[in-house]
Structures are given as C-alpha cells and as structure tokens.
Amino acid sequence: MRESLKTGVTFGLTSGTITTLGLMIGLYSGTNSRGIVIGGILTIAVADSLSDALGIHISEEADHTRTTLQVWAATVATFLSKLCAIIFVVPVLLFELPTAIIINLAWGLSLITTLSYYLAKNQGAKPWKVILEHLAITVLVVALTHYLGKLIANYIGS
C-alpha cells in the first residue's frame, strides 16, 4: 500500500508541476493574458489530473502483483497530487502576471528540488545528481514551451 501511495504522489507532484509550468509559460509567452493563463492552469489541473490518474490506474492494474486497494491508492494519490497544481493559480490572482510567473517558476523549481532530494535520499543516491537531472529536464520544458508560445504568437497570432 505504501509503495502505491509513493508512486501516485511522486508521479503526481512531478508531472503536475512540470506540466503546469510548461502550459503556464507557453500561454504567458504566447498571449500575455492573465485570463488565458488562469484558464489554462485550471483546465490542466483538472483534465490532466483525471487522465494521469486513469493512466496510473490502468498501469497498476496491469501489474498483477497489485491488489485492488493498491491500485486505487495509487489512483487517488495521483489524482490528488496532480490536482495540487491548482495552487499555481494563486500567484496569478494576487500579482501582476510577470511577477506571478516568476513566483510560480520559483515554486515549481523548489517542489522539484525537494522531491528530488527526498527520492535521492531514499535511494541512497547523491542528491545533487538527482536534483540537477530533474531540474535540467524542468528547465528544458520551460524553455521549450516559452519559445513555442512565442512561435505560435508570431505565426498564428494571439
């Protein structure tokens, strides 16, 4: 049961953070619209939480060593962990959009760093290596979605 919860939480927090940062940065870079960024965050928080929870559910069911309770524990943990991405909307509501983006980037990178440290310690790995690897992937996603948002705005219009 504990492994199922850990699977759901670690997957959910990582995926929710990186997906939300990517979407938020892409929408901000392409539109510079607070309303569109808020709508994107709320939409991705719900839709992606449900779809990934179902994905984990099916994946866990495919592992014939999992009990029904373990499958559902991973499913619910994934859903709730990913739904926490909704917290990224708070800075967008409270601050000017450029400031909110910086706050959310700092928050997201902090979440990835903390989770990576926890995972490295549990696996007996060197935390700095795991943190650097996970932050590099996160920064790559943010950079790609930033430029994709700009590209879409330039060629399709905003």
Residue 120 domain boundaries:
2-155
Domains of the chain: total:
1
Q: What is the pLDDT of residues 79-114, one digit of tens each?
A: 999 998 999 999 999 999 999 999 999 999 999 999
Half-sphere exposure of 48 (CA within 13 A, CB side): 25
Report in angstroms the alpha-carbon separations of 98 from 32, 37, 91, 137: 9, 11, 10, 22
What pTM value is reported for the model?
0.90
Q: What is the pLDDT of residues 38-59, one digit of tens each?
A: 999 999 999 999 999 999 999 9
**The two three-digit tokens of residue 1, written as one number:** 């049961």
What amino acid occupies position 91? P
